[in-house]
Chains A and B, each alone.
Chain A
């Protein structure tokens, strides 16, 4: 136990100590994000992430949003297990034909208002995989999309910016 406490103590708060300009950007971006979410969702935004056929690179970067450097939860953004608890669907991958119905059902299970971000090049337009017998292409071929967020994969700071961009545009579909 003492070793753990010592390790935590010596590690310190990475989120605030982070020295580079990049981390300052993250702080500013996060503050704006929280403002937008406060206005629309009373302080919290629940995101359900769906991998509709990605290569998993997008998921790795979405995971990074929860690491001590980005810690997106401090801005009221959290990832939920059920679409019924979600305000936003964050979809990655070209939509594989085998995931087409699962994605549509997940979207239908959400309460309204609901928002959809197509995250990553594949989710935007099929990316490297395009459209084929196995791939529907972009997410908007299957469900309505509010924001297209390019990148292969989008980096954590780009994901934060994307969520913010959507909040600025949210109209209550």
Chain B
């Protein structure tokens, strides 16, 4: 079914349900299709989407002229639909999507905490992003909420979050965090266990909430790109790209072809660097430190090349609105080709060992299994989704340059365990190397093309949607500009919004000491989620 047939099918279904679509546009948020519905039809529109097997991919709200404009994204491979409605600011009440799409649970609660939207029938009425830094009746994303907040005093610990209790003979709880034992981001995990096996685990996130959505307001394009690069430090290229793409679409322009290729190249470099690090760390979490040392040595070599290439080991500030801030000339192309060949030769014997080493097999096969059904229910993308049968890859769905002209196979497995996530990451390193070689060839052919960025035309009030496949999965970035072409609203939906709940689902039945390896195999971003 092509995109048009699918959309007309959806519209026909809405009509059957007597849902009035006020206006639709294929342009306003292209390549997504925008549909305006009545607030009372909000839940029904989601039910129809669910019945058509669409994936729920995000929600955000935007205060505009006495109303809160709500936008929810539903998608199928290669086609995105933004459902939009508005509720009055003095009575911002709307039906929840969380009962229809469980993946919506926390994002709706985030929206309730940040903007004061009241979701009726929400299955979980607890706060989420809000701890103790602002009160229940205050909403940081409202225009009347000052940037510095209303509470100048010290912020106490969030010690009374109502975790559901558990009872039973021999049942106990282990509270972990927010400060963890290792060098990782802060968050809280509440394990409920009997003996070694985990019965239930609940995450409590929001500790790294830095007010990104609020401080983005009023920034110019360059300022937005800088903050987007710091949403999640391991995904700085992907998030900056998504924000830049949203800005460019809001302004009705496109980066030059060479700039898109360089963006793709850097984004694949980011993917390889993170996978190399994580492959080593996953193995290390079951005591196989050989892999950690080998893979982290390769990662270090890779980061040093990033430094040569972009002046930054993590390639921060390399992407700018309208294009890129660095060039890839003939000399660099030659160097990178050699690098790619060298890395292929280096990972071959290593990956061979990881694939069939008995102690790794023993510890990773069957550990932390996320069933394809649960992955689908939550709408998980990236390597976590791919390891559980969800072949969501925006690069393949060909929504943006340079991937529209590149061919590759999306790695996929139905096994859903740690071993499968490890295997998917290994396959993605190979496919990224192939993609980068192709990109280098394309860059060579375009070597005479001038200009690495375009100026963004002024388009007051413009809005745009960035859709990028980062190393962790699908990133959705929304930007709306104000009358002076400064940012009026910014929301970045990291893939971690769905992989964190997936982690909760895959842990029960595993032993508590296997939490680190399960967690590392998923590797959700705290900062990307907490905003």
Contact = CB atoms under 8 A, between A and B. Distances in A.
Contacts of A102: 157, 178-179, 186, 207
A40 interface: no
A100 B132 CA distance: 10
B277 A63 contact: yes
State the main secondary structure of chain B at its contact with A: loop
Interface stretch (A27-35, A91-99, A164-172): A91-99
A97 B155 contact: yes
A155 interface: yes
A59 B154 contact: no
B236 interface: yes
B210 A94 contact: yes
Contacts of B154: 100-101
A58 interface: yes
A59 B185 contact: yes
B519 interface: no
Given A60-B314, A63-B277, A135-B210, A98 B290 contact: no
Contact of A93 (B206, B208, B353): B208
Interface string A52-64: 1111111111111
A169 B299 CA distance: 33
Contacts, number: 177
A162 to B, nearest CB: 15
Nearest to B188: A102
B290 A96 contact: no
Contacts of B488: none
B349 A55 contact: no
Interface stretch (B51-59, B65-73, B226-234): B226-234
B352 interface: yes
Contacts of A101: 154-157
Interface residues of B, number: 63
B208 A54 contact: yes
Contacts of B145: 133
A11 B209 contact: no
Contacts of A99: 178, 186, 207-208
Contacts of B290: 4, 7-8
Contacts of B352: 3
Contact of B211 (A3, A106, A133, A152): A133
B340 to A, nearest CB: 19
Nearest to A135: B210
A66 B148 CA distance: 38
A39 interface: no
Q: Taking each of A97, A105, A136, which has the highest tally of chain B beta carbons within 10 Å of its own beta carbon? A: A97
B148 A131 contact: yes
Nearest to A61: B313
Contacts of B341: none
B186 A68 contact: no
Contacts of B155: 97-98, 100-101, 136
Interface residues of A, number: 56
A76 interface: no
A33 B133 CA distance: 40
Contacts of B525: 56
A115 interface: no
Given A79-B183, A101-B155, A133-B134, A96 B210 contact: yes
B12 interface: no
A43 B134 CA distance: 45
Contact of B314 (A49, A53, A57): A57
B1 interface: no
A62 to B, nearest CB: 5
B168 interface: no
A56 B151 CA distance: 27
Contact of A153 (B148, B314, B353): B314
B184 A69 contact: no
Contact of B146 (A51, A60, A97, A133): A133
Nearest to A15: B297
B383 interface: no
Contacts of A24: none
Contact of B233 (A67, A98, A130, A153): A153
Contacts of B349: 3, 6-7
Given A7-B290, A53-B527, A133-B145, 16 more contacts: A3-B352, A7-B350, A51-B183, A55-B232, A56-B233, A57-B314, A64-B299, A67-B299, A83-B179, A94-B210, A96-B207, A97-B132, A129-B215, A133-B148, A133-B149, A133-B151
Interface of B: 131-134, 140, 145-151, 154-158, 178-179, 181-186, 206-212, 214-215, 226-227, 230-234, 236, 277, 290, 293-294, 296-297, 299-300, 303, 313-314, 316, 349-350, 352-353, 357, 525-527, 530
27 contacts: A3-B349, A3-B352, A4-B353, A7-B353, A51-B185, A51-B208, A54-B527, A56-B526, A57-B234, A57-B316, A58-B233, A59-B185, A66-B296, A68-B297, A93-B208, A96-B207, A101-B156, A102-B157, A102-B178, A102-B207, A129-B215, A132-B214, A133-B133, A133-B134, A133-B147, A134-B133, A134-B211
Top 5 A-B residue pairs of the complex, sorted by shortest distance between their CB atoms: A57-B233, A133-B149, A134-B211, A97-B133, A81-B181
